[in-house]
Structure 1
Amino acid sequence: MGPTYSALDGTRPRPPVLGSLGYLLCNLPLGVAGFALMVTLFTAGLGTAIVWVGLPVLAAGVLIARAAGRFERARVHRMLGAYIPTPYKPLPEFGLQARWRARLTDGATWRDVLYLVLLLPLGIAEFTIVVTLWPVGLAATTLPFYCTYLPGGAYFFPAFDERWIVVDSPVDALPWAALGLIVLACAIALTRGMGTAHALFARAMLGPGPRARRLVESDTDRRGAVA
């Protein structure tokens, strides 16, 4: 039996931690931009298409979505180590109308649009997890080194006026440093796991569709049988 389609796309099963961290942090601003562009362009374009004014707006939305899809495939490859093949059907060499018909009837175009819309809620969730776990873990791990330099000469939790926990020496901070190491370990595992999950999601949305994947797998199996 030949290799599966996922084995042919060059995707590493475990993206690098730093690459995943940078990728996940960028997803929120890119998700906001992508969501705003897609919703604005397609809403305005569809609303004014009846008077033809909206057609250039819709065309711009399609071109931007496909350009953003190319950018995302490159970003996933660069930061997560997951290669995503270009999914678009070849455009006709001649005829403006025929070329636009090919773009609009290509399912990959609309998967690009859907991916940009979904990137916002995914980016919010990923960004929230990352910016919660990493700062908490780093702050707790390094607490023995800076606790005595804080205002009042100690660390007060939850606040300076509400002193439920007081850490006023490096020795007292050691248990919190150990807890911080556990949080950092969880942050590393979750960051890599979210990077892997997003790479798989991006490959499903931005790569060739199910029919194209089946064709590739069938062709690979036939070549393996002949060999």
Structure 2
Amino acid sequence: MAPAHVTESDGTNPNPPLFGSLAYLVLNLPVGIASFVFVVTATSVGLSTAIIWVGVPILALAMLVWRGAARLERQRVNSMLRTYIATPYRPLPEKMSDQWKTRVKDPATWKDMTYFLLMLPIGIAEFTLMVTFWSVSLWLLLLPLYFGFLPAEWSPVIDDHPVLAVDSAFEALPYAALGAILLAVSVALTKGLGTLHARYARAMLGPSARKLDAMRWDTSTSGFAGVTL
């Protein structure tokens, strides 16, 4: 594998773009479902059949898959959240048996697995917040434009009193103003969650601070830091 390069972008404060953050946070739900199902299913089957040795290759394959998925996730974070994450894995020796021992003893392997297990609850929360805030804010903001196309009984009723009853574009303006405020909140929330997830992904999928300092030292002395995926 090609060596990972420690660049100036690594270690800086993440500043993800708005729409990149929005797309990333929404996609975390299907990514979280797929990754959680795979890790739980593969490890459960592998551990339950390890006593007859059938589970050993299953666990080995699962480990390779989630390490490969972590590599793709680093690229996804880099492309959508503009946050570079250095490769954290220990260099692999030439002997095949020693390579597997290195993978198993490497803390980055188990951090990758933990990241994908936690992606499901995190993805549910991020997806719910994004869909709720953006849909409600845009619905209110654009209400003066489409209220005339709504059915007559569209307004919800509480205690026999209609809520959000709008009969003209002028009556819809206060709701549009509220929608503009919520839209500003949605933008700030999206940027904030994108930044938080970028930091979280760097902490879970990247090297430790100590290893990163060592990689930077290698970069300054030899031009790059060699880390094998």
Q: TM-score, normalised by structure 1?
A: 0.87
1:24-57 CA distance string (max 9 Å, x none): 0000110011111111111111111111010011
Q: Which has more helix, going by share of residues?
A: 1
In the other structure, the counterpart of 2:227 is none
In the other structure, the counterpart of 1:157 is 156
Cα gap change, 1:35 to 1:115, in 2 (>3 Å): same
| Distance in 2 between residues matched to 1:34 and 1:157, nearest whole Å | 39
Other structure's SS at 2:163 match = strand
| Distance in 2 between residues matched to 1:9 and 1:124, nearest whole Å | 28
Could you say which structure has the greater relative contact order, defined with CA pairs below 8 angstroms and 6 or more residues apart? Answer: 2
C-alpha displacement of 1:216: 4.1
Is 1:70 equivalent to 2:71 in the alignment?
Answer: yes
| Distance in 2 between residues matched to 1:84 and 1:164, nearest whole Å | 48
Gapped runs of 5+ residues in structure 1?
223-227
Other structure's SS at 1:167 match = coil
In the other structure, the counterpart of 1:187 is 186
Identity %: 50
C-alpha displacement of 1:149: 1.4
C-alpha RMSD of the superposition: 2.4
Is 1:129 equivalent to 2:135 in the alignment?
Answer: no
Gapped runs of 5+ residues in structure 2?
1-5, 222-229
Contact 1:155 1:168 in 2 (8 A): no
Cα gap change, 1:162 to 1:186, in 2 (>3 Å): same
| Distance in 2 between residues matched to 1:8 and 1:31, nearest whole Å | 27
Cα gap change, 1:204 to 1:42, in 2 (>3 Å): same
| Distance in 1 between residues matched to 2:8 and 2:129, nearest whole Å | 30
**Aligned ranges 1:201-212 → 2 under 5 Å:** 201-212=200-211
Is 1:92 equivalent to 2:93 in the alignment?
Answer: yes
**Aligned ranges 1:14-53 → 2 under 5 Å:** 14-53=15-54
Aligned residues: 216
C-alpha displacement of 1:210: 3.7
